[in-house]
Amino acid sequence: MTGFIARRLASLVPLLLVVSLAIFVMLHLGRGDPAMDYLRLSQIPPTDAAVAQARADLGLDRPLAVQYLAWLGDAVRLDFGHSWVTHRAVLDDLAIFVPATLELTAAALALTLALALPLGVAAALARDRWPDHLARAVAFLGVCVPNFWLGYVLILVFAVGLGWLPAMGRGGLSHLLLPAIATAAMSAGVLLRLVRASVLGHLSARHLLFARARGLPRRTVIGRHVLLNAMLPPLTAVGLTLGELLGGAMVVEVVFGWPGVGRYALQAISNRDFPALQGFVVVMTLVFVLCNLAVDIAYAWLDPRLRLGLAGR
């Protein structure tokens, strides 16, 4: 298992290098002349001398390769420089906003799993009967509904109409519930369908025939031999779902006034605050990659074929 984790970690290095290169190239090609934005945000008149000075300060006059290596060196140390707007270190700013987004994402993930697993299994075991139709209709609705709009509908019903839950802000569990539902709807729908399909596929697995022929009770056959195995394919999807959830959380944050990284990114976008923007993209990508690593490890822990390096058997 340690070997597996080590191999998996080692394989991240080239991937992250490629990602960093891609981000750097986009940054370089996409942003126009950052010196101008820098001067505008610092409220310095853009005279020729000031532009040249700014370009030198920002290191834009160096060869591209040197700029990349310098940028990479900083990025590895999570040093993204200082925001041109707040003049604080970008990492310090992110340390304030990212945890709120992660809290919302984690709650949404928990909700996604809590909905998709039981409903998906129930749907598969009751194929083409009413629980199946109901679960699939719910999943379809979840996949189609815009998350930010669902947020408002939830506020209208549960905060304004019924007055059960607070509409805005970050706080205890009660503040978390509505935004988590809005964030989770899409992923829960996607995952529910996957779980259902996976369980249906595993119901015809050959080892079930032998399990039944040995006289095992239905409880054991379904519980151990169908569900355990059927959880593996959806587990892979959970990794991808996390990307969806992170993105969804950033949009839903705006609806609920949740003080997360989405708001920070929007500020950086409207100010063209490039250090903040690159810090945002690097940190969020790292979060995503590490979550996927966790999912892979969980997968290997469940599946001995992977853990023992015997894939394909």
Given 72, 102, 289, 293, the residue binding another protein (CB under 8 A): 289
Q: Is 50 in the site for another protein (CB under 8 A)?
A: no
Closest distance to another protein from the beta carbon of 196 (Å): 6
In angstroms, the Cα distances linking 173 to 170, 179, 309 are 9, 11, 42
- In the chain, DSSP assigns E strands to none
Q: Is 294 in the site for another protein (CB under 8 A)?
A: no
Residue among 50 and 281 whose Cβ is closer to another protein: 281
Spacing of C-alpha 286 from chain mean position: 10
Residue among 63 and 215 whose Cβ is closer to another protein: 215
**Token duo for residue 294:** 């966790």
Q: Which of residues 219-278 bind another protein (CB under 8 A)?
A: 220, 224-225, 228-229, 232, 242-244, 246-248, 250-251, 254, 262, 265-266, 268-270, 272, 274, 277-278
Contact string (CB under 8 A) for another protein, positions 267-286, x = contact: -xxx-x-x--xx-xx--xx-
Residue among 22 and 298 whose Cβ is closer to another protein: 22
Report the C-alpha gap between 196 and 127 in whole angstroms: 9
Do the Cβ atoms of 303 and 15 come closer than 8 Å? no
**Total residues contacting another protein (rule CB under 8 A)?**
87
3-state secondary structure of 306: helix
Q: Is 58 in the site for another protein (CB under 8 A)?
A: no
Strand partners, 43: none
* Other Cβ atoms closer than 10 A to 256: 27
Strand partners, 82: 89
Residue among 54 and 150 whose Cβ is closer to another protein: 150
Report the C-alpha gap between 282 and 71 in whole angstroms: 12
Residue among 112 and 278 whose Cβ is closer to another protein: 278
Residue among 53 and 145 whose Cβ is closer to another protein: 145
Residue in 76, 72, 41, 38 with CA at minimum distance from that of residue 56: 38
Report the C-alpha gap between 135 and 116 in whole angstroms: 9
Contacts of 49 (CB under 8 A, 6+ apart): none
Contact string (CB under 8 A) for another protein, positions 136-175, x = contact: xx--x--xxxxxxxx-xx-xx---x---------------
Q: Which of residues 175-204 bind another protein (CB under 8 A)?
A: 186, 193-194, 196-198, 200-201, 204
Contact string (CB under 8 A) for another protein, positions 12-31, x = contact: ---xx-xx-xxx--xx--xx
